[in-house]
Amino acid sequence: MDAFTTHTGTGVPLRRSNVDTDQIIPAEYLKRVTKSGFEDGLFAAWRKDETFILNDPTYAAGSILVAGPDFGTGSSREHAVWALMNYGFRVVVSSRFADIFRGNSGKAGLLTAQCSQDDVELLWKLLENEPGTSVTVDLVSRTITAGDVVAAFDVDEYTRWRLLEGLDDISLTLRHEPDITAYEQLRPAWKPVTG
Amino acid sequence: MGRTLAEKVWDAHVVRQGEGEPDLLYIDLHLLHEVTSPQAFDGLRLSGRPVRRTDLTLATEDHNVPTTPGPITDPISLTQVHTLRRNCEEFGIRLYPMGDAEQGIVHVVGPQLGLTQPGMTVVCGDSHTSTHGAFGALAFGIGTSEVEHVLATQTLPLKPFRTMAITVDGELADGVSSKDIVLAVIAKIGTGGGQGYVLEFRGSAIRALSMEGRMTVCNMSIEAGARAGMIAPDETTFAYLEGRDHAPRGEDWDAAVASWRELHTDEDAEFDAEVVIDASELTPFVTWGTNPGQGAPLSHSVPDPATMDDTERQSAERALEYMGLVAGTPLRRIAIDTVFVGSCTNGRIEDLRAAAAVVKGRRVADGVRMLVVPGSARVRLQAEAEGLDTVFTEAGAEWRLPGCSMCLAMNPDKLAPGERSASTSNRNFEGRQGKGGRTHLVSPLVAAATAVRGTLSSPSDLEPLEPLVPAADLAHQEA
Ligand code: SF4
* Cα separation, B76 vs B374, whole angstroms: 24
At residue A27, the pLDDT reads 87
Chain A CB within 8 Å of residue B12 CB: no
Say yes or no: domain B285-461 is CATH 3.30.499.10.
Answer: yes
At residue B471, the pLDDT reads 52
Report strand pairing: B197-202 vs B228-230.
parallel
Domain ranges of chain A: 6-167
Four-residue CA torsion sign, B462, B466, B472, B475: negative
pLDDT in tens, chain A (195 residues): 778 999 999 999 999 999 999 999 998 888 778 777 899 999 999 999 999 999 999 998 999 999 999 999 988 788 999 999 999 999 999 999 999 899 989 888 899 999 999 999 999 999 999 998 999 999 999 999 999 999 999 999 989 998 998 887 898 899 899 999 999 999 999 999 998
Residue nearest to atom 6 of ligand 1 (CA): B404
Q: Please list the residues that pair with B104 across neighbouring strands.
A: B376
CA distance A120 to chain B (A): 14
Four-residue CA torsion sign, B136, B261, B214, B168: negative
* Closest Cβ–Cβ partner in A78, A173, A195 for B94: A195
- pLDDT per residue over B156-203, tens digit each? 999 889 999 999 999 999 999 999 999 999 999 999 899 999 999 999
Does B218 appear as a known binding residue? no
**Sheet-wide strand order for A134-138:** A111-114, A91-94, A62-67, A6-14, A134-138, A143-146, A149-152
Q: How many other C-beta atoms are found inside a 10 Å radius of the C-beta of residue B173?
A: 14
Q: How many other C-beta atoms are found inside a 10 Å radius of the C-beta of residue B479?
A: 5
Residue B260 has pLDDT above 80, yes or no: yes
Residue B475 has pLDDT above 70, yes or no: no
- pLDDT per residue over B205-235, tens digit each? 999 999 999 999 999 999 999 999 999 999 9
* Cα separation, A142 vs A25, whole angstroms: 28
Segments in B360-470 forming alpha helices (H): 377-385, 388-395, 444-453
Chain B residues near residue A194 by CB distance under 8 angstroms: 29, 54-58, 94, 115, 246
**ipTM value:** 0.91
Confidence band, pLDDT 50/70/90 cuts, at residue B469: low
Domain ranges of chain B: 5-276, 285-461
- The mean pLDDT value of chain B amounts to 94
CA distance B16 to chain A (A): 7
CB contact at 8 A, A91 and A31: no
- Which residues are within 8 A (CB) of B396 and not within 5 positions of it... i.e. 6 or more apart? B363, B364, B370
The count of CB pairs under 8 A between chains A and B is 187
Chain A residues near residue B118 by CB distance under 8 angstroms: none
Chain A residues near residue B196 by CB distance under 8 angstroms: 99
CA distance B227 to chain A (A): 8
- pLDDT per residue over B414-468, tens digit each? 999 999 999 999 999 999 999 999 999 999 999 999 999 999 999 999 988 875 5
CATH class of A6-167: alpha beta
Chain A residues near residue B435 by CB distance under 8 angstroms: 26, 45
* Cα separation, B232 vs B133, whole angstroms: 9
**B185-B325-B216 Cα angle (round to 5):** 25
- Which residues are within 8 A (CB) of B53 and not within 5 positions of it... i.e. 6 or more apart? B30, B154
Q: Which atom of ligand 1 is nearest to the CA of B426?
A: 3
- Which residues are within 8 A (CB) of B239 and not within 5 positions of it... i.e. 6 or more apart? none
Average pLDDT, integer, range B24-51:
93
Q: Please list the residues that pair with B141 across neighbouring strands.
A: B124
At residue B42, the pLDDT reads 87
| Cross-chain residue pair B195–A99, CB shorter than 8 Å | yes
| Cross-chain residue pair A170–B38, CB shorter than 8 Å | no
Instruction: Give the three-class secondary structure for A169.
Output: helix
Residue B473 has pLDDT above 70, yes or no: no
| Cross-chain residue pair A194–B57, CB shorter than 8 Å | yes
Out of 3.40.640.10, 3.40.50.720, 3.40.50.1820, 3.30.499.10, the CATH code matching B5-276 is 3.30.499.10
| Cross-chain residue pair B47–A170, CB shorter than 8 Å | yes
Q: How far is the CA of A184 from the centre of ligand 1 (A)?
A: 31
B343 ligand 1 Cβ < 6 A: yes
- pLDDT per residue over B320-353, tens digit each? 999 999 999 999 999 999 999 999 999 999 999 9
Q: How far is the CA of B63 from the centre of ligand 1 (A)?
A: 7
B285-461 has the same fold as B5-276: yes
